[in-house]
Structure 1
Amino acid sequence: MSSREHFDNQQEHFDKQNIATIVDEKKQSAKPAKSNKSQLVKRALSSHSWVGLSVSALMYLVCLSGALVVFYEEFERWEQPVIEEYDDYSTRQIHMAIERFNQRVESTPESIYVVLPTESVPRMHISGDDQEWFINQDGSLSEPPIEGWTHFLKELHINLHLPQTFGIILVGALGAMLCGLIVTGILAHPRIFKDAFIWRPKGSRRIAQVDLHNRLSVWGTPFFFMIGLTGAFIGLVGILILVSASAFYNNDREAVIDEVYGADIEVTQSIEQLNIENALQQLQMTHPNAKPIYMVVQNFATENQFLEIAATLPERLIYSEIYRFRSNGELINHQGMSDGHWGQQLAYSVYRLHFGHFAGMPVKWVYFILGLALTIVCATGVNIWLARRKFTSFINDLWVAVVWGSPLAIVLASISVMTRLSATMIFLVSTVMCIIYALWKKNPPRVKSHLQLLTALVLLVIPVWHHLHFSMSWNWSLVNAINFSLVIGSVIYFWLGLSGNRKPS
């Protein structure tokens, strides 16, 4: 073989080796890309599962109570149905109520609040220094508002009945975790939006739960993320203020609060008689679209006295704008929530956005339905994990007690409306009894059915008891609408309990 032929053979062999190496390198480079995507999905799924499982029971309680709290204004009226209701009010009525209030209290409060009747709550009440009474249409004082079942429901959602500061922070952290669960849930299921309409009700128990969990998650993602984000802000705003004060305001927390919500004012004048009528007229002239919802007499009966009127504005999400007046009714300024910088407007809009208190009853029903959907997502997430296990344990019993015992305990707590027992105590005792029963029975499907039937029975008894206790007529009203809704709920729970459903809780 000539040297030329030998060189050509060597070159051909080298080229083949080089091509093989290049092809192999391409394969190797492609593998990490696929592997990296797979690893991202696995890590997201693992994170989603562990975060969800670690806070599942608390998240479930917060979501369930949140769905109900949307109607807290209606529940407060149902809880005290004999209070006078009216749409209109007069300045004479307000002055008389303030006078009667000061006669009842031992010492005059620095700030006296008068909550005005609105379309959603056509009642009026006056308060100061934790003393409060409803106002009759003639200006006399009626019963004090009670902190009963509705108050228990709000506290369950806001701080889980834990020490207030710790509880609010914990619930805020749950809101942040909900946002994280949404993000990891999307990353863990690359086809989640493509499969948005897949439904396999005849599949295995796990498949049915997976489909229900994923479909509700996809359809409700924008709402769920908004609820988590606003809930995190409401719960963690104290920490945000503390951090901002430390970083930008030399640890002056009041300066941060004043920057976001507006600073208080100081008024020095000779003591004048409070002229509420002139203040309301001034407000009508300068801001005709403003609808007053409450007023505050600050520094009552001193030379620093002034009047604040909080009012809602049409087509705005801010909770209210606050207008300030001298005692004679002369307008001083407004707090700037409606036309301040975007941070102020955003911060003061979070409350209405989170609780759905805008645009009336239709929005409340949308929030209620989507809130129940989020509650179901919480429950099915744990159901999927339980179904994947090859065995059952006490966790199955505990979970069925949480999922179906919590609604029962909340409904039972409403007995406090007729008995004046502690709603919180009824709830806690009922919850413990449900857990003990589930652990003793060791049969989750049977326990589930029993709890559903018992809830149905209580839902049927409550409206009848409420009607008899308050001697209400059966004409159509908000109170009877709620009682009728409870009967509908009873029918649904009876159907669930009798349907022989053997799926996970």
Structure 2
Amino acid sequence: MTNKALRQWSWVHKWTSLVCTLFLLLLCVTGLPLVFYHEIEHVLGNEVEAPEIENPGVNASLDTIVTNSKAHFPGKQLQYLSWDEEEPALVYAGLGDELDSEDGNRYLALDARTGEALGEIPFQGTVMFYVYRLHVDIFAGLAGKLFLGFMGLLFVASIVSGIVVYSPSMRKLDFGSVRHHRPRAVRWLDLHNLLGIVLAAWMIVVGGTGASIRGRIWFSVWRNDQLTEMLGAHKDNPRPETPASLETAIQTARDKVPGMIPSFVAFPGTLYSSTGHYTVFMHGDTPLTSKLLQPVVIDAATGDFTDTREMPWYVTTLLISQPLHFGDYGGMPLKILWAILDVITIVVLVTGLYLWFRRRRPNAANRFADDAEIAPRYAGAPAE
């Protein structure tokens, strides 16, 4: 690589890193507790557990669960029902002031065997709620999600450019060298380079998936694209005053995609459905297919099948990205590994900031030391 090309890549690495570092620190710090979200909620007592009952038998009718959900929160609109993948005795209901509202929603846990309401699941106003919102959209809605997604892309660019710069700048040192006998700035630079290159692949995966899962924009694209095609001439059907049996709609969905099980159902008028249809999202029962969804559209007035299709590639990418981003597909060992790598990433970001601010210090001796030891790495000259 020529000195000019190396300087160009160094410029890209420096500025992409500087622009995104503070926001990446925020994402890493807030992402750490989110890795253990369920465990923390359990410790805080914010999870609802299904009681033990004798002879549980057949599950309650979903229509009974719908009735009990509405009765628990009178005046609220039932938006979604979802099933707990790990605890089949639990069903969750999401209700809002309006069918398409997201703010102020309430979440209720119900016993799938009896249909009885077990209690509200606290979310808004909890510690984890504020951590989640900081991580997802910094309390700025869609604009915040898109902004943090862009920061994720800059992070990926800084990692890629750092990989390009690493090899020529370290060609006279053994891989992983940390020169403990040199000045502090040099030691921190070596540590920054070592941790960065070792974690490069993981950081690209987490940064890239983090950028891809920001916001519900992909589901909005799906709704305006594929869902509209699936509805065809029925896309403007009005919302029925008395919807068809949800139990029948779910059974129809099971019959149309055998081997799959319900993940959640979106009621008519919600963000993931149309005004006149249920959308039942089904998933598989293997480790991979359990993360993928296939929508089955059911006419909410008659309970008749309308259409089903596999999700488009961009939604499939989103669904696969989520477990990769949070490390929640391999149990506690993988979560611990993700947490350790997150902490190391924080060290990489902090050392990068330290090196930048040290070079900006006005003391001439410091500038000379930094220029003599650090600048050659970014100017194409071999490291000592």
TM-score by length of 2: 0.71
1:246 aligned partner: none
1:158 aligned partner: 136
Q: Quote how far apart the aligned CAs of 1:157 are.
A: 1.0
2:42 aligned partner: 77
What are the Cα deviations for residues 29-65 of structure 1, in whole angstroms up to 9, with x where unaligned?
xxxxxxx711222232233223323332222111222
Q: Quote how far apart the aligned CAs of 1:332 are.
A: 4.4
Q: Quote how far apart the aligned CAs of 1:181 are.
A: 0.7
Which one of the candidate residues 355, 366, 386 is aligned to 2:326? 355
1:18 aligned partner: none
In the alignment, the residues of structure 2 paired with residue 386 and residue 220 of structure 1 have an alpha-carbon distance, to the nearest angstrom, of: 23
Give yes or no for the alignment of 1:321 onto 2:294.
Answer: yes
Q: Quote how far apart the aligned CAs of 1:167 are.
A: 1.4
What SS does structure 1 have at the residue aligned with 2:122? coil
Structure 2: unaligned runs, 5 residues or longer = 97-104, 364-384
One-letter code aligned to 1:72: Y
In the alignment, the residues of structure 2 paired with residue 344 and residue 307 of structure 1 have an alpha-carbon distance, to the nearest angstrom, of: 16
Which one of the candidate residues 135, 152, 170 is aligned to 2:110? 135
1:295 aligned partner: 265
Segment of structure 1 superposing worse, 169-178 or 309-318: 309-318
Which one of the candidate residues 122, 125, 135 is aligned to 2:92? 125
Write the mapping of 1:373-412 to structure 2, written as runs, cut at 5 A: 373-388=344-359
Which one of the candidate residues 262, 265, 280 is aligned to 1:308? 280
Distance of aligned partners of 1:205 and 1:317 in 2 relative to their CA distance in 1, 3 Å threshold: farther
Write the mapping of 1:234-273 to structure 2, written as runs, cut at 5 A: 234-235=213-214, 238=217, 257-259=223-225, 265=231, 266=234
Which one of the candidate residues 308, 321, 328 is aligned to 1:334? 308
Give yes or no for the alignment of 1:366 onto 2:337.
Answer: yes
Distance of aligned partners of 1:120 and 1:358 in 2 relative to their CA distance in 1, 3 Å threshold: farther
1:445 aligned partner: none
2:154 aligned partner: 177
Which one of the candidate residues 102, 113, 116 is aligned to 2:70? 102
Segment of structure 1 superposing worse, 375-384 or 188-197: 188-197
Q: Quote how far apart the aligned CAs of 1:201 are.
A: 4.6
What are the Cα deviations for residues 233-291 of structure 1, in whole angstroms up to 9, with x where unaligned?
334885xx8xxxxxxxxxxx977753367756348799675152783486278422x34
Give yes or no for the alignment of 1:225 onto 2:204.
Answer: yes
In the alignment, the residues of structure 2 paired with residue 312 and residue 280 of structure 1 have an alpha-carbon distance, to the nearest angstrom, of: 16
2:366 aligned partner: none
In the alignment, the residues of structure 2 paired with residue 200 and residue 220 of structure 1 have an alpha-carbon distance, to the nearest angstrom, of: 20
1:197 aligned partner: 176
1:463 aligned partner: none
What are the Cα deviations for residues 301-342 of structure 1, in whole angstroms up to 9, with x where unaligned?
xx94546243345223754222344568765443412xx5x4
- Give the structure with the higher percent strand: 2
Distance of aligned partners of 1:285 and 1:261 in 2 relative to their CA distance in 1, 3 Å threshold: closer
Percent identical: 18
CA contact (8 A) 1:73 1:120 kept: no
In the alignment, the residues of structure 1 paired with residue 65 and residue 263 of structure 2 have an alpha-carbon distance, to the nearest angstrom, of: 16
Number of residue pairs matched? 336
In the alignment, the residues of structure 1 paired with residue 331 and residue 157 of structure 2 have an alpha-carbon distance, to the nearest angstrom, of: 31
Distance of aligned partners of 1:140 and 1:256 in 2 relative to their CA distance in 1, 3 Å threshold: closer
What are the Cα deviations for residues 113-144 of structure 1, in whole angstroms up to 9, with x where unaligned?
12222228975321222233222464332134
In the alignment, the residues of structure 2 paired with residue 312 and residue 78 of structure 1 have an alpha-carbon distance, to the nearest angstrom, of: 30
In the alignment, the residues of structure 2 paired with residue 89 and residue 76 of structure 1 have an alpha-carbon distance, to the nearest angstrom, of: 30
In the alignment, the residues of structure 2 paired with residue 146 and residue 237 of structure 1 have an alpha-carbon distance, to the nearest angstrom, of: 19
Distance of aligned partners of 1:152 and 1:186 in 2 relative to their CA distance in 1, 3 Å threshold: same
Which one of the candidate residues 86, 107, 113 is aligned to 2:80? 113
What SS does structure 1 have at the residue aligned with 2:65? helix
Give yes or no for the alignment of 1:276 onto 2:247.
Answer: yes
Q: Quote how far apart the aligned CAs of 1:149 are.
A: 1.1
In the alignment, the residues of structure 2 paired with residue 364 and residue 196 of structure 1 have an alpha-carbon distance, to the nearest angstrom, of: 28
One-letter code aligned to 1:70: V
Q: Quote how far apart the aligned CAs of 1:378 are.
A: 0.8
What SS does structure 1 have at the residue aligned with 2:289? coil
Structure with more contact order per residue of length (Cα contacts < 8 Å, sep ≥ 6)? 2
What SS does structure 1 have at the residue aligned with 2:264? strand
In the alignment, the residues of structure 2 paired with residue 326 and residue 166 of structure 1 have an alpha-carbon distance, to the nearest angstrom, of: 34
In the alignment, the residues of structure 2 paired with residue 42 and residue 382 of structure 1 have an alpha-carbon distance, to the nearest angstrom, of: 19
In the alignment, the residues of structure 1 paired with residue 216 and residue 49 of structure 2 have an alpha-carbon distance, to the nearest angstrom, of: 37
What SS does structure 2 have at the residue aligned with 1:349? helix
In the alignment, the residues of structure 1 paired with residue 49 and residue 222 of structure 2 have an alpha-carbon distance, to the nearest angstrom, of: 41
CA contact (8 A) 1:93 1:139 kept: yes
One-letter code aligned to 1:139: G
Distance of aligned partners of 1:212 and 1:334 in 2 relative to their CA distance in 1, 3 Å threshold: farther
Structure 1: unaligned runs, 5 residues or longer = 1-35, 242-252, 393-505
CA contact (8 A) 2:222 2:315 kept: no
- Give the structure with the higher percent helix: 1
Give the superposed CA RMSD: 3.9
Q: Quote how far apart the aligned CAs of 1:155 are.
A: 1.0
In the alignment, the residues of structure 2 paired with residue 278 and residue 256 of structure 1 have an alpha-carbon distance, to the nearest angstrom, of: 22
One-letter code aligned to 1:140: E
Distance of aligned partners of 1:193 and 1:226 in 2 relative to their CA distance in 1, 3 Å threshold: farther
Q: Quote how far apart the aligned CAs of 1:174 are.
A: 0.6
TM-score by length of 1: 0.56
Distance of aligned partners of 1:347 and 1:375 in 2 relative to their CA distance in 1, 3 Å threshold: same
In the alignment, the residues of structure 2 paired with residue 123 and residue 207 of structure 1 have an alpha-carbon distance, to the nearest angstrom, of: 55
